[in-house]
Amino acid sequence: MIKSRSIASCIIFSLITCGIYAIYWFIVLTDEINTLSDNKGFSGGVSFLLSLVTCGIYSYFWAYDMGKRINAYNTQRNLATSDNSILYIILQIFGLGIVNYCLMQNDLNKIAEAK
């Protein structure tokens, strides 16, 4: 089940908890996008651990892959879509991963409302 979340609340909780909530948000985003996707990938926990072990290198692949999965889901359902995978990589390179989370959550919120 895809849950609609307030993006502002997620950002505030991430700041208040010094990033702990951002880890939870990363894991939940990954799991929810995997639920939508026909191509099951690593779970959120495994993706987080891979990002840690590879010193963040895996997070570039993760950002690109999540963008492709969201786009594929929207395309299959004939929903308005844009492929943001390259944008996600660029934001990740510049250390703006939380912006990626916001954009992905916005897409998931639209999908949750459409159901």
Rounded distance, CA 50 to CA 62, Å?
A: 10
Q: Does the residue 107 lie in any domain?
A: yes
Q: How far apart are alpha carbons 72 and 81 in whole angstroms?
A: 9
17 part of a folded domain: yes
Closest by alpha carbon to 32, among 90, 113, 112? 112
Note if the pTM is more than 0.85. Answer: yes
- Tens of pLDDT, residue by residue over 1-26, are 788 999 999 999 999 999 999 999 99
Cβ neighbours of residue 106 closer than 8 Å, sequence gap 6 or more: 7
- 3-class secondary-structure state, position 73: helix
* Number of separate helices (H) and strands (E) present in the chain: 6, 0
User: Would you state the structure tokens that stand for residue 113, as one six-digit string?
Assistant: 């409302």
Identify whether 82 is part of a domain. yes
Q: Measured on CA atoms in the order 43, 45, 49, 51, is the torsion positive or negative?
A: positive
Is 1 domain-assigned? no
Residue numbers of the domain that contains 80: 7-114
pLDDT digits (tens, 9 = 90+) for 20-43: 999 999 999 999 999 988 778 899
Instruction: Work out how many domains the chain is built from and give that number.
Output: 1
Whole-number pLDDT of residue 63:
97
Q: What is the pLDDT of residue 61?
A: 96
Q: Which run of H or of E encompasses 79?
A: none
Per-residue model confidence as pLDDT tens digits over 53-104: 999 999 999 999 999 999 999 999 888 888 999 999 999 999 999 999 999 9
In a domain, 2, yes or no: no
